[in-house]
Amino acid sequence: MTTVVIIVAVVLLAALGYVLVRRRTGGGHGLRRRFGPEYDRTVERHNGDTKAAEHELAERVKLHGHLEERPLPPEAREGYTDRWAAVQEQFIDSPTEAVAQADALLAQLARDRGFPDGAGFEEQTAALSVHHAEHVDGYRKVHTAVRGKGGTEDMRKALIESRALFDVLLGQSPDEPAHTSRHRTNGRTA
């Protein structure tokens, strides 16, 4: 009888330990909730291997979860807003150059907000995904467009999608327009 009680106690302690560890690391369900579409993108990149994807996402949280975004002074916000408006205007005449400038502008804004400059784009987007998972894909699309992948319509869509991350990093919600009006590119708002 004593042996049965000891075995049950050990099993209960092991189960409790497992639950506590899963809660602390977020587990798959917590990671899915935290990363949203970034979770699905990472699973797809790992060919459906959820364990590998969750391991990668958990590592991102460990590396970048403590990061605190630095606020931007009002004059810096205004400067970024003006530069983004210029990028949108430039898109009409030179989409490739405009997308390249948007890519560089997002990288600089992320650095100014405290995200790592890192060894490259992947480290910066990994950190951004921990804090802005819903919006980081637009930045990836702009970065891909700069590398010559896709036509003008792909560049236009990438610029539009990257605007959400720009707004969030600027300190605005993606639904709240910046203080300058959005400009039209190729007959569509960008």
Express each pLDDT in 68-108 by its tens digit: 999 999 999 999 999 999 999 999 999 999 999 999 999 99
The set of long-range contacts for 92-98, using a CB threshold of 8 Å and a minimum separation of 24, is: 92/185, 92/186, 95/152, 95/155, 95/156, 96/146, 96/155, 98/155, 98/159
| 145 to 18, 90, 125, 128, 177: CA distances (angstroms) | 44, 16, 16, 19, 24
Mean predicted confidence (pLDDT) in 54-80: 94
Question: What would you report as the CA-atom Rg of the chain, rounded to the nearest whole angstrom?
Answer: 21
**pTM of the complete model:** 0.74
Of 25-34, 82-91, 112-121, 124-133, the one with minimum mean pLDDT is: 25-34
pLDDT for 57 equals 95
Domain boundaries, the chain: 2-64, 74-189
180 or 139: whose pLDDT is higher? 139
pLDDT at residue 139 tops 80: yes
